[in-house]
Amino acid sequence: MYAWPATEVPALPGQGSPLHIFDTAASGLRRTSPGPTARLYVCGITPYDATHLGHAATYNAFDLIQRVWRDAGHEVLYVQNVTDVDDPLLERAVATGQDWTELAERETALFREDMTALRMLPPAHYIGAVEAIPSIVPIVQDLLRQGAAYELDGDIYFSVESDPHFGEVSRLDAEQMLRFFGERGGDPDRPGKKHRLDPLLWLAARPGEPSWETELGNGRPGWHIECVAIALGHLGMAFDIQGGGSDLAFPHHEMGASHAQVATGSHPFARAYVHAGMVALDGEKMSKSRGNLVFVSRLRKDGVDPAAIRLALHAHHYRSDWEWTGADLERAEQRLAVWRAAVSRPDGPDAVELLAEVRAALADDLDTPRALAAVDAWAARQQAGGGSDTGAPGVVSRTVDALLGVAL
Ligand code: 5CA
Ligand code: ZN
């Protein structure tokens, strides 16, 4: 499906350095060394409600990865999905008396608007779960043939024991896995499963729910296989980064890696698994199911500059869990005003060091607070009347645009 329009990324003098990023599977920093084309898969939204600041923070992190890669001379092949058929979406549609396709289309359209306003770079392939069904079916058939999947009352499950690498993505112990599996869409207690952690690959049609007639019978896909089919179809195995919020490490990314590894007989699914921290509101993780949300679209309607929203996100390191408060936005608005005033002057302090420092900060596991501090320092020197380089304000403005996605 259509993604959203691309914003131009200005060229910067010189070149950035290789990105080092925290890989959940390695439990440490890893130097990404993509080929000429860096390949990135980021899990997209389940479109039953509007984009909240937690979503925005997660997509912000993966937008920065693309910017750092591009600055280091790579092309980026970016793929994102939309989970446009799944339990929470169908449940919300029933609860509110809406048609599930209309709900999904409306919320996806709003997500596109939010991403555009925030100047997030669009994926080259933006694929819905429904669209992906024809590519999901042969993978499930393959897993069945290999004995890595089995049927239970018409549903089809993946056998986690078929993957010798199972557990290597999230590195959780058995007890933690069981807890997260139950909390995050799994069904550990269904009788008849070979292993309590086995996830659904295919759900046989249920009354009142949408279903598709395929070689697997009449039904719909499970959640993890959707991202596997889309990633394999557009990126292949061993792509550079699989990304999402930390709540996706298990079971979603663990299961996806296993599905793909067993189906293709190769390893790894992704070279690195990168996870953003959770944004909270009023002491709890912002989540559609809890309803404690601050929507990007609401802030925009209230007249908040999207550039200030992005700066508010950048003020937190992407891996930390943090709580949104009104003060975040106030600080970001002040910073934006100071930066804009600083680059609007005809000259200023030399910006060569600033560019090097922003590049170094971002290449070091996306250290945005350090990058902001570097721009703050330049703006302070500017305010103190510290320079007469006529090229400097332009370089700063292009640096902030190209590397932080903020238009000054
Ligand atoms: N459609 C699936 C992925 S295939 C899904 O998880 N959708 S979602 O709409 O629930 O979440 C979209 C992305 O936002 C995921 O990467 C998720 O980890 C992230 N996310 C959700 N809530 C928060 C939050 N409070 N803070 C940070 N990121 C969040
Ligand atoms: Zn996903």
Q: Which atom of ligand 1 is nearest to the CA of 245?
A: 18
- What does the block give as tokens for 293? 């949300």
Q: Which amino acid residue places its CA nearest to atom 9 of ligand 1?
A: 45
Structure confidence at residue 74 as a pLDDT band (50, 70, 90) = very high
Q: Which amino acid residue places its CA nearest to atom 16 of ligand 1?
A: 244
Could you give phi then psi for residue 235, rounded to 5 degrees?
-125, -25
> In angstroms, what is the span from residue 37 Cα to ligand 2's centroid?
22
- What does the block give as tokens for 109? 């359209």
% of residues, the chain, pLDDT over 70: 100
CA dist., res. 242 & res. 232, Å (int): 12
Q: Is the pLDDT of residue 377 over 80?
A: yes
> Strand, coil or helix: what is 267?
coil
Answer yes or no: is the C-beta of 46 below 6 A from any ligand 1 atom.
yes
Answer yes or no: is the C-beta of 275 below 6 A from any ligand 1 atom.
no
| Each residue's pLDDT tens digit, 76-126 | 999 999 999 999 999 999 999 999 999 999 999 999 999 999 999 999 999
> Strand, coil or helix: what is 201?
strand
| Each residue's pLDDT tens digit, 1-35 | 999 999 999 999 999 999 999 999 999 999 999 99
> One-letter amino acid identity for 377?
A
Give me the pLDDT at residue 284, please: 85
CA dist., res. 320 & res. 99, Å (int): 37
- Identify the sign of the CA torsion 222, 93, 275, 250: negative
Query: Token pair 């009354």 is at which residue?
Result: 207
Give me the pLDDT at residue 105, please: 97
Q: Is the pLDDT of residue 145 over 90?
A: yes
Give me the pLDDT at residue 282, please: 84
Q: Is the pLDDT of residue 152 over 80?
A: yes
Q: Which atom of ligand 1 is nearest to the CA of 47?
A: 9
> In angstroms, what is the span from residue 178 Cα to ligand 2's centroid?
19
Answer yes or no: is the C-beta of 262 below 6 A from any ligand 1 atom.
no
Could you tell me which of 294, 155, 168 has the C-alpha nearest to residue 220? 155
Q: What Rg value do the Cα atoms of the chain yield, rounded?
A: 22
Q: Is the pLDDT of residue 369 over 90?
A: yes
Q: Is the pLDDT of residue 289 over 80?
A: no
- Identify the sign of the CA torsion 349, 353, 359, 362: negative
For the beta sheet containing 149-152, the strands, ordered from the edge strand earlier in sequence to the opposite edge, are 149-152, 155-158, 200-204, 217-221, 212-214
> In angstroms, what is the span from residue 241 Cα to ligand 2's centroid?
13
> In angstroms, what is the span from residue 93 Cα to ligand 2's centroid?
21
Q: How many CA atoms lie within 13 A of 117 on its CB side?
A: 20
- Identify the sign of the CA torsion 185, 190, 196, 198: negative
Q: Is the pLDDT of residue 348 over 80?
A: yes
Q: Is the pLDDT of residue 386 over 90?
A: no
Q: Is the pLDDT of residue 292 over 90?
A: no
Ligand 1 site-directed mutation target among 40, 42, 45, most atoms within 8 Å of CB: 45
| Each residue's pLDDT tens digit, 160-189 | 999 999 999 999 999 999 999 999 999 999
Give me the pLDDT at residue 256, please: 98
Give me the pLDDT at residue 286, please: 82
Q: Is the pLDDT of residue 65 over 90?
A: yes
Answer yes or no: is the C-beta of 285 below 6 A from any ligand 1 atom.
yes
Could you tell me which of 110, 93, 118, 209 has the C-alpha nearest to residue 155? 209
Give me the pLDDT at residue 288, please: 72
CA dist., res. 62 & res. 272, Å (int): 13
Q: Which amino acid residue places its CA nearest to atom 23 of ligand 1?
A: 54
What end-to-end distance do the CA atoms of the chain give, in Å? 31
Query: Token pair 């899990």 is at which residue?
Result: 43
Ligand 1 site-directed mutation target among 246, 248, 322, most atoms within 8 Å of CB: 248
